[in-house]
Structure 1
Amino acid sequence: MINFSLEQITTLLSAKQLGNSSQQFTGLNHLEKATSDQISFIGSSKYAKLYNSSNAGAIVISENLAHLVSGEIPLLVVSNADLAMAKLLSLFEPDAPYIEADIHPLATVHHSATIGKDASIGAGCYIGANVVIGDEVVIYPNVTILDDSTIGTKTIIWPGTVIRERSQIGAYCILHNNVSIGADGFGYRPSEDGRGLIKIVHIGNVILGNGVEIGANSCVDRAKFDSTIVGDGCKIDNLVQIGHNCILGKCCIMAGHSGLAGSVTLGDGVIIGGSASIKDHTTIHSGAVIAAGSGVMGDVAAGKTMLGYPATESRDKLREWAAVRKLGRN
């Protein structure tokens, strides 16, 4: 069992320790559920009221909130409790499911594929022609990687993921369960006789940069021509759609149920909230934030926060909503 003393955790977090305990800590939990061998967190003032009723053995708290609590539970005061929580979650993370650094006998690997040193390929996987698997890649059971694709060093691919032909996956990526990379983009045109639809063939590919993480059941479609690109460090939630020919800059975030129509461009550090929708051929410049549930119909300037459906700058939208509420009272 993983366990650490309060002093060890204090050192790891470079925290200021208020109070002592001889307890060995075995994990983390919510304030209202934590037991004496678990650590909890206060990163917002709304949780400070739970301090006195908590059974946690110690609490990590942001320094700007420490004055709001007092009592017997030891405090570890840090500049940012959320970042401290991220450190501790890594410390207490259980080992990943074991898979041997080898090719499982029930995997199918084409003779032309190149498999890197200490790579692991689980049962039921299919690795196609001319695929290149980097060193220390972990491919869990029932993953399909089709012809001419490349997988970078130390990337982890969880069960059910399908990586279509010609895709390029960077190093240190994580693809969670049932991710789809490189399926056809969605493109149709009315037929000349007006009686049907003509499918637009997509002959491009998908390129994921280094350190990209894509959540379960999310889709990144291949380009009509050229490449759909997800830049280094992007983090994509579950159930996200990225359409053909989209280009994401570095370290963008997309929350669950959000979607980009075709040929959307995101600058660096763009944040897309849950269930937000972005119109095709739109550019959202670096540092912009699209609030949850918003519908973006046009380009967004750098650093702007957009809100509503259709989305407008957040301050304007909030004023609009306030005016509507006043009308309702008259």
Structure 2
Amino acid sequence: MAVAKQIERIFGSLEAAGFPRAFQKTLLPEWVTADVLSDEAASSEVAAILAKRLGLRASPLFNQAPNVESLRRRDTKYKRSIPSRHKNLFAATSVAASIAESISAACGRPFVSLPADAGELRRHILESFKGYWVGLRNLLMTCWASGIPVVYLAELGNGVSKMDGMVVHTAGRPVIVLSKGSDLWAWQLFILAHEVAHIALGHVCPDEILIDEELGVDSYALEDEDDEERAADTFAIELLNGRRDATYTTSDAAVNGAELADAAFTFGKKNRIDPGHIALNYAHKSGDWKTGVAAARRLQGQNPPAQDVINQAMWENILPETLPEDTLEFLRRVTGSLED
């Protein structure tokens, strides 16, 4: 069934602006079927939905020759970009900024500034929230208690690249968006700590977006020429370890994942350091990511994927009744939430 001409023009204009056509269709509600898309009368409603979910002005999309205009102007700072693997993050950034606005509106707590001293924040977390160490759950709890929402951006479809993490400062508060495609708590913990550091250190101003393109194997910590990135890494390392220069090695060069996991757990419990973080920190220091990731996965055991933990914290801390049902449906979809 052919798509109506005006809707086709809208799809084409958005595609030319960096939003793949297949991605656009994933943003539409289930009731927007092929029959709806073939109806010229539905063009205004389709345009309005896409505009809302991409943070665009709706009226220019209704033109005979549709054009794309952002609803709000935000300065965007791109960090941790790997030149050999540069990503087009325009689509993911637009969706992330849109859901950040919705989450911010549904957060019932006022924003409270975080301490600019990592050691002070670490002490606050360990004193205020349960846990042997600063881990994913109690760091999430700290963010939400401080009026800093944390949301997970799930896969957006083929051809749509994502960042590992970002901060959107909107409506008077920073919102953290985590989007690395890993179910490991330890990975999401380090990225969350890094984004928390950007907020605590004042790296993100109102109406700014800071994007950490990759915080992966090639740029885990302390190897960036950007002053703000190095400062955020240093803060994150101290927050998680209690010292800013923490690195981990083993006496046995042939250590396997199980042995590393056991050693990390013993050391971590004694020193109040997340064992999964120790495993990834070891991997970064040694270059043996296979063993480090295997240890982190072993330590995670049968716990749910990190994305589920992030989503659970979100649904427990927002006020769903403040958002329209179509926004809630969209939020469930883009966060990969099975239920709220």
Provide TM-score, normalisation by structure 1.
Answer: 0.23
Structure with the bigger percentage of helix: 2
Greater relative CO (CA pairs within 8 A, separation 6+): 2
Structure with the bigger percentage of strand: 1
Provide TM-score, normalisation by structure 2.
Answer: 0.23
